[in-house]
Amino acid sequence: MSEGAAKKEEKPRKFHATRGTRDLLPPETALWNRVEQTAHEVFATFGFGEIRLPVFEPSDLFVRSIGQETDVVQKEMYIFEDARGEIWLARENVRNSIFRPAERSSVEVLKGFLNDFQVRIQAALRSGEVEHDPGQSQYYKYFSDGVEYFNKLVVKDPSVPLQFLDKAQEEIERMGPFLKHAIVGVRIGSFVVLRPEATASVCRAYIEHGMQQLPQPVKLYYMGPMFRRERPQKGRYRQFYQIGAEVLGGSDAPAIDAEVIEMVMAFFDRLELQGVQLEINSIGCRDCRPKYVELLRAALLKVKDKLGPDSQRRIETNPLRVLDSKLESEQGIIATLPHIAVHLCEECAAHYAAVKHQLEIRGVIYRENWRLVRGLDYYMRTTFEITAQGLGSQNAVCGGGRYDGLVELLGGPPTKGIGFAIGEDRLILSLQESGKAPAQQGRDVYIAWMGERAHATAIRAAKDLRKAGFSVELPPVEQKFGKALGQADKLGAKYALILGDNEVSEGLWTLKTLADGSQAKYTEPDLLAHLRKSL
Ligand code: AMP
């Protein structure tokens, strides 16, 4: 192939957003802003303050709080080593030349990569950039031994590609206990996770900043992206957005549970979200829940054969999750299982009754759903979920509940806690489906100018109009008036301000109303006053 032909074939790669992520574009982003602005306003009226949290946190924070056996931890966590590109690349080079020897990867090249990585990792350990983990010592030792062994390896021609080198593969295999093992196991940074939710982070921050010293309870809300490596579908993304709130400390008075729920409902009401349905449940406490779980497990074992593989597995790992099942064939069986409400301890039963009473006083309409257990381990007592219209099978827009033990579990003092997370993507989807999305925002004024003098006046006019709060489009290059007016139309402008030589010398500007084509002349101050009145 000629050089020219090869160049032609080499099309630059087209990039796409990573699977499960998406760009949010105007005009949709205007709706996102409105939703978020409404959250700021409504939550503030309930005395909540905003907390902004890191997007990644130590992996243990989530494993410990959400629970090892949950889907979020087992299947959906985005976990990676917190490493600098250089060190990562250096290790990748070694890995690639050992496991996937390319043509250019000779003993010489491999030795170069090995030594380069060794120098970098040693420097990073010395400087503290990579934390020294005693559990890793053995890998570093294997690695050094391996490098030493390899440095001593005598081959006739070190530049022969590895795969053609007799015995090279064998030699590499022989290094098994050393290099291969080490290069797989050697850590170049601590493990961090892109947050799958924010409750654990809020609790971490509560402890870290000694917020138990503040007047209790502390009421915080957050908004931002969360990450779960789920199978993408409508209403389910790998990067999605949540708006959530937490009440930490103070008492576990049922009025707190009810007020938190009242706040979400007030927020949805303000947004005019359609078809909102609130479901509540109590899943008991550390005393009564284990007894119920055992009862449930026993009941499930009796019908094990009739359940699908997921539920069969959950009988052992987390029987409560069987109640979550959406499998048609399991619904009849689940209906016969014991209900938690009748197995709550006295305190939990009283708490649940009081939460319901408090909701009624507040005029919050709810439905009880004894199967609502929620997927995360830290919940206790009150749990709730809110669904909205137009979302198909992924119709939950909000989930929440009480988690009194969580702060303590994360090393803080015993602390009461309750909160919720709203799925913002689904909230937006539901608002769009019911026609609550704002229409595309057109410009207020399009400035059609012609000539250098008019350009200077147009720039000044744009500045003044923008200062007064109008949205203004100022074309960067001169256009014929006909084209300019066409452009103004396409952008949905309400007015065209026409500035040509005549207007500038007369000091009278022409304003065309695009809806009816009428036009009138104004002095500069009159124009501003007129626009203020009519926009
Ligand atoms: P959770 O933190 O699992 O209780 O979820 C709270 C809310 O976040 C859910 O009710 C959904 O509205 C939303 N949500 C959870 N996972 C996703 C996802 N993968 N994509 C979009 N929204 C989600």
DSSP string of 51-62, one letter each residue:
----SEEEHHHH
Per-residue pLDDT tens digits for 220-243: 999 999 999 999 988 899 999 999
What CA–CA distance (Å, rounded) separates 477 from 310? 64
Distance from Cα 423 to the centre of ligand 1, integer Å: 5
What CA–CA distance (Å, rounded) separates 73 from 66? 7
pLDDT band at 17 (very low <50, low <70, confident <90, very high): very high
Listed residue (149, 220, 267, 187) closest to 407, CA to CA: 220
Q: pLDDT value at position 5?
A: 58
Listed residue (52, 57, 64) closest to 79, CA to CA: 57
User: Please, which residues have CB within 8 angstroms of residue 358's CB and are 6 or more apart in sequence?
Assistant: 254, 255, 257, 258, 259
Q: pLDDT value at position 160?
A: 65
Q: Which atom of ligand 1 is nearest to the CA of 242?
A: 8
- The H or E element spanning position 43 is helix 28-45
What CA–CA distance (Å, rounded) separates 476 from 154? 69
What CA–CA distance (Å, rounded) separates 25 from 428? 13
- 293 or 535, which is more confident? 293
Is the beta carbon of 399 within 6 A of some atom in ligand 1? yes
Q: How many CB atoms lie within 10 A of CB 500?
A: 17
Task: Report the residue among 70, 226, 279 best suited for mutation to probe ligand 1: largest number of ligand atoms under 8 A from its CB.
Answer: 226
Distance from Cα 246 to the centre of ligand 1, integer Å: 16
DSSP state of 106: B
Q: pLDDT value at position 479?
A: 93
Q: pLDDT value at position 101?
A: 63
What CA–CA distance (Å, rounded) separates 465 from 480? 23
Q: pLDDT value at position 229?
A: 94
Is the beta carbon of 398 within 6 A of some atom in ligand 1? yes
Place of tokens 């830290």: 378
Q: pLDDT value at position 219?
A: 98
**Cross-strand pairs, 222:** 244
Nearest CA to ligand 1 atom 14: 423
Is the beta carbon of 228 within 6 A of some atom in ligand 1? yes
Using alpha carbons, list the distances in angstroms from residue 441 to 28, 273, 485, 516: 10, 21, 18, 19
Per-residue pLDDT tens digits for 113-141: 889 999 998 899 899 888 887 877 878 88
Per-residue pLDDT tens digits for 278-331: 999 999 998 999 999 999 999 999 999 999 998 999 898 889 989 988 889 999
Listed residue (157, 176, 193) closest to 76, CA to CA: 193
CA 159 to chain centre: 48
- Interhelix angle 452-467/524-534, rounded to 10 degrees, is 40
Per-residue pLDDT tens digits for 340-357: 999 999 999 999 999 999
- 176 or 478, which is more confident? 478
Mark out the alpha helices in 100-165 (DSSP H runs).
107-127, 137-152
Per-residue pLDDT tens digits for 32-64: 999 999 999 999 999 999 999 999 999 999 988
Task: Report the residue among 18, 223, 236 best suited for mutation to probe ligand 1: largest number of ligand atoms under 8 A from its CB.
Answer: 236
pLDDT score of 148 more than 90 = no
What CA–CA distance (Å, rounded) separates 25 from 83? 32
Q: Which atom of ligand 1 is nearest to the CA of 238?
A: 19
pTM: 0.88
Listed residue (248, 209, 224, 194) closest to 406, CA to CA: 248
Q: Are 495 and 446 in contact (CB under 8 A)?
A: yes
Q: How many CB atoms lie within 10 A of CB 456?
A: 13
pLDDT score of 3 more than 80 = no
- The H or E element spanning position 354 is helix 346-361
Q: SS in 3 state form for 401-424?
A: EECCCHHHHCCCCCCCEEEEEEEH
| Largest Cα span, the chain | 94
Is the beta carbon of 259 within 6 A of some atom in ligand 1? no
Nearest CA to ligand 1 atom 23: 423
pLDDT band at 142 (very low <50, low <70, confident <90, very high): confident
Q: Which of 159-163, 185-189, 369-373, 521-525 has the lowest mean pLDDT?
A: 159-163
pLDDT band at 246 (very low <50, low <70, confident <90, very high): very high
What CA–CA distance (Å, rounded) separates 64 from 516? 65
Across the chain, what does the average pLDDT equal? 90
Listed residue (474, 486, 411) closest to 446, CA to CA: 474
What CA–CA distance (Å, rounded) separates 179 from 165? 19
Using alpha carbons, list the distances in angstroms from residue 139 to 133, 143, 177, 180, 181: 10, 6, 10, 10, 8
pLDDT band at 145 (very low <50, low <70, confident <90, very high): confident
Token reading at 438: 């704002």
